[in-house]
Amino acid sequence: MKATSLKSELRKWVVFDINIKVSPEDTNKIKSLYQSGESIFTIAKKFNVHPSTVCEHLEKSGTRRRSLKEAGILASEKGRLPNKHEIPKSSKKLTREKAYILGVMCGDGYLNRTNNDSYQVALQAIDKDFVIEFAKCIEKIYRIVPSVRKIKTDIPNWNDKWQARICSKEIYNDILDYALFGKYEWKIPGIIFNSSKNIKYSFLKGFFDSEGSVDKSKKIVAVSVNELGINEVAILLLSIGIRSNIKEVTNVVDNRRRQFFINITGREFIELYNQKINFSIKRKQTKLNNMIKNYKLRVTPHQDVEKLKSKMIELRNKGWSYQKISNELRLSISTVWRNIKK
């Protein structure tokens, strides 16, 4: 078989649909194809599924996965070794998918240059849907499919993780062109602040998919050890109309490391987050939906209530009911009643 260029091969690829499943009977077929020398990606194409689905079936059948070295040797023997990957010119455009990637890189995503000059862009997380979303964005922007695999842990009470990874110096450098990334050094790329609201929404979705959670005390929370970075997130949220606050906590257990929590509270801002940003992670989105559904009281900062006092009185003098004023000004009915009575 002749070695084909990556560019020509990629024309045949489409974004995989993670919702397509294969039957249990196909597990043996997948095992047989893999053991005959087929790659995970070529098998995925034949079954029109995501490569991670193929990995799951290989795991179910007890099939040992080839190491990277073994896969490279086999690819060379089979003539599957592609030429150097050149990222398409379209990848330079800041789209929602690329903004999402940059948001993830400020969170759980990472760049890694190994000792033997392998340039890696990767994400590890316990949520498969999150890792798949990241992989799909990489594929759409750079026209190359990342490897997706499950990483089992031997540590008791720890969850297994999923990993999406691509080895490409060109992609590595393209992402670094936007900003520095790293646990303590990351900062929001300046171009994000100057972009449309849709780009900001997507960047924030990537960041909160990584670092965010839905707290029982009716708030959306994200945490980082990077004080500058978390303050930039607060500024970006404010630019799209979402008010937040930051709390510093010292973790005594972990060598007194400082952590910074950004909190989004108040039904108005939580609902806006849900409408414009939300989560790609199903378990987090379900928690958010339930919180909004059960949120009975609209919490509004005191300074905002003070600004609305004259408007409350004006509407009440026009004969409006407390309930109608509450709906109009997006305040709890008790807040309206209390302030007018004063």
Mean pLDDT of 136-145: 93
- In the numeric block, which tokens belong to residue 144? 């190359």
Question: Whole-angstrom Cα distance, residue 270 to residue 275?
Answer: 9
Boundaries of CATH 1.10.10 in the chain? 6-77
CB atoms within 10 A of CB 7: 13
**Residue 5 pLDDT:** 39
Higher pLDDT, 181 or 18: 181
Question: Whole-angstrom Cα distance, residue 273 to residue 237?
Answer: 9
Question: Whole-angstrom Cα distance, residue 215 to residue 223?
Answer: 12
CATH architecture for residues 6-77: Orthogonal Bundle (1.10)
Question: Whole-angstrom Cα distance, residue 164 to residue 148?
Answer: 4
Boundaries of CATH 3.10.28.10 in the chain? 89-293
Please state which CATH number belongs to domain 89-293.
Answer: 3.10.28.10
**Residue 145 pLDDT:** 87
Mean pLDDT of 196-204: 98
Question: Whole-angstrom Cα distance, residue 250 to residue 256?
Answer: 6
Residue 83 has pLDDT above 70, yes or no: no
Question: Whole-angstrom Cα distance, residue 137 to residue 101?
Answer: 7
Per residue in 53-67, pLDDT (tens digit) is 888 888 888 888 887
Residue 11 has pLDDT above 60, yes or no: no
Q: What is the 3-state secondary structure (H, E, C) of the chain?
A: CCCCCHHHHHCCCCCCCCCCCCCCCHHHHHHHHHHCCCCHHHHHHHHCCCHHHHHHHHHHCCCCCCCHHHHHHHHHHCCCCCCCCCCCHHHHCCCHHHHHHHHHHCCCEEEEECCCCCEEEEEEECCHHHHHHHHHHHHHHHCCCCEEEEECCCCCCCCCEEEEEEECHHHHHHHHCCCCCCCCCCCCCHHHHCCCHHHHHHHHHHHHHHHEEEECCCEEEEEECCHHHHHHHHHHHHHCCCCCEEEEEEECCCCCEEEEEEEEECHHHHHHHHHHCCCCCHHHHHHHHHHHHCCCCCCCCHHHHHHHHHHHHHHHHCCCCHHHHHHHHCCCHHHHHHHHHC
Residue 299 has pLDDT above 60, yes or no: no
* Percentage of residues of the chain with pLDDT beyond 90: 48
Task: Please tell me the pTM assigned to this model.
Answer: 0.69
Residue 8 has pLDDT above 50, yes or no: no
